[in-house]
Structure 1
Amino acid sequence: MASYAAITAYTSEHGSRPASAASVSRQRSQRHKKESGTIGSASWLSSVINLLNTIVGAGVLAMPSALSHMGILLGTFVILWAGLTAGFGLYLQTRCARYLERGSASFFALSQITYPNAAVMFDAAIAIKCFGVGISYLIIIGDLMPGVVKGFNEEVEGFLVQRRFWITAFMLIVIPFSFLRRLDSLKYTSVVALISIGYLVILVVYHFAAGDTMSERGDIRFIEWAGAASTLSSFPVIVFAYTCHQNMFSILNEIKDNSPLRTTSVVTASIGSAGAIYVLVAITGYLSFGNNVAGNIVAQYIPSIASTIGKAAIVVLVMFSYPLQVHPCRASVDAVLKWRPSRLRSSSTSPSSSPSRSSLLGKRNTSRPARDEMGEARFAAITTVIVVLSYIVAMTVSSLEKVLAYVGSTGSTSISFILPGLFYYKISSPHSPHHQRLMKDEDDEEEYAEDDDDADGADEGTTGREGGKQAWWDLRLKGRHWRRDLLRKLSLALAIYGLVVMVTCLATNTFFVAAH
């Protein structure tokens, strides 16, 4: 690693860690806080809420069905494993963002310094994936709302039971939210969506505790499974349930405190909460119906006001999740439209055009904005096209299951595993020029910030014992070097894992499409 080599060279020449390390750390920390306040204003809680709302969607209701195919033991393990791998992908994104200028992190920006000629392909995949998911939300609204109306009044007829009317009505509600520029502006709608999720979880747990589904319950699989084919059919449902990586860079750009500890805690809290919700709903829902559980467990409950409200909660959930898909879709479309292959090649290969150290380390030039934001006209035009096209497709198509299955298999695995793994593996290479230029000062800053108190204590306690201080510092450097080398290997393993998941999901989808 560049930072390890640089500091080792310094200690070899001067005999110890710089005496002014603590003061340097404090100065850099103050500068970091100042810059964070001007670029990011989102709180830790709002970041967790938006990320958690992006993760948990209507797919939570399919978890019991997945458990019926895998069994409780294997199914619970797969849910936790999927959360762990998805969380690791998010963590790699937080690491990659530190190589970029504060507030400008994106898949496109990382592509420019790692795989510039493939940047347009990456962003196109993200845009298509988010666009397809947004359409599926509108279709869910159109399919569920007539039943919700019937649940409150079975005699209702006419336009109130027509799916197109409800798609149009709810589209008028979400349009203003889709035109919000900052993801943090959606924190209040995300709270409403999470309240809906809370109601659905309570509904499932209540019916399990009440035991009012025992007459319809089938057999229970605790350890055994239903077979390889059934298990593979449920595997993508669980893996894709954690997909939220398309919004992670926006959260990193907008969060006020973007220190490694703070951003890692956002990932941990969001993934941990989602995993807990999935396991709770999966186990209680499966134990309620056993192997007779359906893909949407709420639809199986005896018709009542509570179950009707549950369906309405699903509608509210997907309605407020729609703008969370428009946000990354718009950013990716804008990146695709800005992509210029000849310019990228010249900037990445020409020595004279190499970025300066100050710009690469996130030291902003005050004469220009830190982020190349879309102009108002461009922002409005791209958003309008996304909204109008998704509305037209949702109105004319009643099912996107097969299309979304393939888009999810490619798009979700790319965003969650392949791209974070490949980006970090490429950019953190000790031989990468970007690593040499980008990481040296930034990495030193991180080390000083983490070890400031410990280093001061070590310096005070080892006064006059330079040899002991040198050995202690060398040991810390070697340990940090070993951890970063391990992290780089794990990032490559995540990318390979993503390719395996993609192939498995595509093969499974092809098999079931052919079977049906």
Structure 2
Amino acid sequence: MSAYNPIFNDDDFDPPTNQHNSSSSARSSLPDDHAPLLHSPAIPPSAEDYEEEDDGHGSGAAAATAGFFGCTVNLANTILGTGMLAMPSAIASIGLIPGIFIIVYSATASSLGLYFLSKAAARTEGRHASFFTISKLTWPGAAILFDAAIAIKCFGVSISYLIIIGELMPEVVLSFLGNTPGGILSTPEGDDPYMDYLTDRKFWITVLMASVIVPISFFRKLDSLRYTSLIALFAVVYLVAIVVWGYVAPKTKAPEPGDIELILFHPARVRVRVHVPPECNVSTLVSFSPPISSMSARPYHSYHSPLQIFSVYNELKDNNQRVINSVITTSIGSAMGVYECIGILGYLTFGKNVQSNIIMEYPASAFITCGRIAIVVLVLFSYPLQAHPARASLDKILASRSPQASGLKILPPPSQLKYFLMTTGILVSSYLIAISVTRLDTVLSFVGSTGSTMISFILPGAFYYKIHEADPWHPRKIIAVFLAVYGCCVMTICLTYNISHLGGPVVPGHYL
């Protein structure tokens, strides 16, 4: 996907500015756009020790061991969540052509957000880039508020992952062992006394939490998760294979396709139907429907990866702008390809009535059951990618309140005990909430429409503009302002949609 490349300009290819072996004279000769702004003379003499440690969010030079492949895999895994299974229904709500365009547009906007964040990271001193340190450059008084929003957003997403595990694993067990149509190892009813345990959502959340999620959530470096992220991406490939197979294979058991709408407008409750030959499988070319559709903001929030871009910047051995841009374009471009493939083929297979969870449309079989297992694997290895920035933001909030951190712009890394307590707190609290409730879609919809939009669009554009506030207007500065305004518009639309649907019926696949 290297051909996918949003607007990155000439200064993207300057030498890296945050290498710890750079001399002060070399630093002073750097172009203005790359000159570090964040200097902290108040840091005590032991600050050099901080740079040799890894706090999981602001790594020092000694911790900069990540390669291009590992960073790209982790970033792509962060982007490719279970929301990709809702892409066909998202396209169905606005039509095929607008759906394709919006996925590409959202990818471009998200790439620009990551690009502006990486440019802001280059203005910090050393490898300590984070929302907190950049906030200290721009709006120091709001730094804690930004980190609080990040922590809440990531914590909510991590809970949703556990709920997905609890929803899917009983279905997987029934598919293999249950007396259901398509059951692979079906047994006579009542023969298995352990079936009640194996179909209990709390049982699977507990088992997989203890055996898989807890160990990998204690890793300090994001790069340590590159192998689990690679496994999760294989699960994504398997899910893509299911959708492709469902489109090209004979549809003897799958539902008959519905109408395929190429364009769908929303200004009025009017439908205009155009009849075409049946073999085209298209009965509606242009249609009009109510103002705000179920498309909501799925594609806009499907590329939420800005929380990991700072860890990538801090841990990447060669973190010059050219390499950072390559990581961004490769990961976003690959995710866009997956979204387009699943969205288009899923929509063409099942039509306008496709469910919000595409995998539920396929008839029961071993192939489809393994796809559900693939989703579980995907969310298992995605949980630490949410816990990582949540813990880092929580650390910044707690550290900023300590007397020792007063006046410091770069906070010291957490102690071993503090790191253990924060990680344990995130794990235990998310587990308790996940086993206590089965529906968080209302809360998560508000968290996503505010937190995700702010982090992905509003803050990147606002940070870049604030840093270059005194500079003449140039294309990147104009685009940054547009991105921030665009984010405000998306947030307004999403909040309006969520408020208007409060108290509505539960939608199947709500956890997507």
Aligned to 1:186: 225
Q: Is the 8 A contact 1:70 1:231 kept in 2?
A: no
**How big is each residue's C-alpha offset from its partner over 1:481-505, in whole Å with a ceiling of 9 and x where there is no partner?**
77xx221121111111111111110
Aligned to 1:238: 299
* Mapped partners of 1:42, 1:178: distance in 2: 18
Aligned to 1:110: 134
Q: Any idea what SS the aligned residue of 1:324 has?
A: helix
Q: Any idea what SS the aligned residue of 1:430 has?
A: coil
Aligned to 2:437: 397
Matched, 1:217 2:253: no
What is the deviation of 1:235?
A: 3.3
Aligned to 2:508: none
Q: Is the 8 A contact 2:254 2:362 kept in 1?
A: no
**How big is each residue's C-alpha offset from its partner over 1:137-184, in whole Å with a ceiling of 9 and x where there is no partner?**
000000000000111111452200000000001101110110000000
Q: Is the 8 A contact 2:254 2:363 kept in 1?
A: no
RMSD: 2.6
What is the deviation of 1:36?
A: 8.6
Q: Which runs of 5 or more structure 1 residues have no equivalent in the other structure?
A: 5-19, 26-34, 348-352, 356-369, 432-480
Matched, 1:86 2:110: yes
TM (normalized to structure 1)?
Answer: 0.77
Q: Which runs of 5 or more structure 2 residues have no equivalent in the other structure?
A: 1-10, 12-24, 31-58, 179-186, 266-286, 506-512
Q: Is the 8 A contact 1:56 1:241 kept in 2?
A: yes
What is the deviation of 1:372?
A: 2.6
Matched, 1:199 2:238: yes
Map 1:197-346 → 2, pairs under 5 A: 197-212=236-251, 215-225=255-265, 227=288, 229=290, 232-340=293-401
Q: Is the 8 A contact 1:160 1:166 kept in 2?
A: yes
Q: Is the 8 A contact 1:216 1:292 kept in 2?
A: no
Q: Any idea what SS the aligned residue of 2:364 has?
A: coil
Q: Any idea what SS the aligned residue of 2:318 has?
A: coil
What is the deviation of 1:241?
A: 0.9
Instruction: Tell me which moved more, 399-408 or 205-214.
Output: 205-214
Q: Is the 8 A contact 1:104 1:372 kept in 2?
A: no
* Mapped partners of 1:55, 1:162: distance in 2: 29
| Higher fraction of helix | 1
* Mapped partners of 2:88, 2:177: distance in 1: 29
What is the deviation of 1:102?
A: 2.5
Matched, 1:427 2:467: yes
* Mapped partners of 2:240, 2:291: distance in 1: 25
**How big is each residue's C-alpha offset from its partner over 1:59-103, in whole Å with a ceiling of 9 and x where there is no partner?**
110000011111110001111111110110000011001100221
Give the fraction of aligned pairs with identical amino acids, expressed as a percent.
44
* Mapped partners of 1:342, 1:284: distance in 2: 57
Q: Is the 8 A contact 2:65 2:315 kept in 1?
A: yes
Q: Is the 8 A contact 1:127 1:329 kept in 2?
A: yes
What is the deviation of 1:227?
A: 4.8
Q: Any idea what SS the aligned residue of 1:70 has?
A: coil
Aligned to 1:14: none
Q: 1:499 to 1:342 in 2, by over 3 A?
A: farther
* Mapped partners of 1:55, 1:230: distance in 2: 28
Q: Which amino acid aligns with 1:168?
A: T
Aligned to 1:458: none
Q: Number of residues paired by the alignment? A: 417
Q: Is the 8 A contact 2:292 2:497 kept in 1?
A: no
What is the deviation of 1:512?
A: 1.6
**Which one of the candidate residues 204, 213, 222 is aligned to 1:166?**
204
Map 1:400-479 → 2, pairs under 5 A: 400-430=440-470
What is the deviation of 1:214?
A: 6.4
Q: Which amino acid aligns with 2:198?
A: L
What is the deviation of 1:236?
A: 1.0
Aligned to 2:147: 123
Map 1:53-68 → 2, pairs under 5 A: 53-68=77-92
